[in-house]
Amino acid sequence: MDDRAIFERLAAPLQKQFFSTAVRLAGNTEDGLDIAIEGIIRGYALWKGGERSGAFRPWIYGVLYRVYEERQARPCRPPVWVDDLDHLARCHRMSPLEPCFIRAGEGPVELAIASLPNHLRSVLLLTDVEGFSYSQTAQIIQRPAAVVAMRLCQARHLLRTALRQQVSSRWLKAEG
């Protein structure tokens, strides 16, 4: 089996989760899809070049996270144009319209998560939503596990506070 077939076999089951995480990290669908597609393309290039280590899932999420961080550092970066979207879609076994249906949720929890600062939101998404361990999250974001634990604690505290405020305001509206 060649590198492309192996990459596709490993990436296919993660596709929807990968796109969903990218949308949540970015805070909007358009930027999230750009990040996810760039992450897949860059991941394949690294895979083909032999630059991979450890388990596939944390490794590919690490690629995604680095693309996300680069976008945060340079938000005005010019777009990368892909000439053949049909070919890209076939490569990743995805209908060209499928990304249009991937949306970040708009419930109170999703809105509270989206309101978190980027560095806290990313750690919360990777550990609590995607299920990565502290050490895997540390590997993905390339920070010590103690930083992951600290950021996760801060993110959970801010999330809890935001959700309490939402519940309190709804309760007061219901009474009034």
Mean pLDDT along residues 75-79: 48
Mean pLDDT along residues 87-105: 44
**138 pLDDT band (50/70/90 cuts)?**
very high
pLDDT score recorded for residue 110:
82
171 has a pLDDT exceeding 80: no
Sequential DSSP letters for 121-176: HHHHIIIIIT---HHHHHHHHTS-HHHHHHHHHHHHHHHHHHHHHHHHHHHHHHH-
Question: Over the chain, what is the mean pLDDT?
Answer: 80
Residue 27 gets the label, from left (phi > 0), alpha (psi -120 to 50) or beta, of left
pLDDT score recorded for residue 74:
64
Domains and CATH numbers, the chain: 1-104 (no CATH), 105-176 (1.10.10.10)
Mean pLDDT along residues 69-78: 68
What predicted TM-score, i.e. pTM, was given to this entire model? 0.69
103 has a pLDDT exceeding 90: no
Query: What's the number of CA atoms in the CB half-sphere (13 Å) around residue 23?
Result: 20
Q: What is the pLDDT of residues 46-60, one digit of tens each?
A: 888 887 778 899 999
Rounded CA-CA distance 155/80 in Å is 32
pLDDT score recorded for residue 124:
93
Mean pLDDT along residues 75-80: 47
* 3-state SS, one letter per residue, for 93-115: CCCCCHHHHCCCCCCHHHHHHHC
Quick count: other Cβ atoms within 10 Å of Cβ 42?
16
66 has a pLDDT exceeding 90: yes
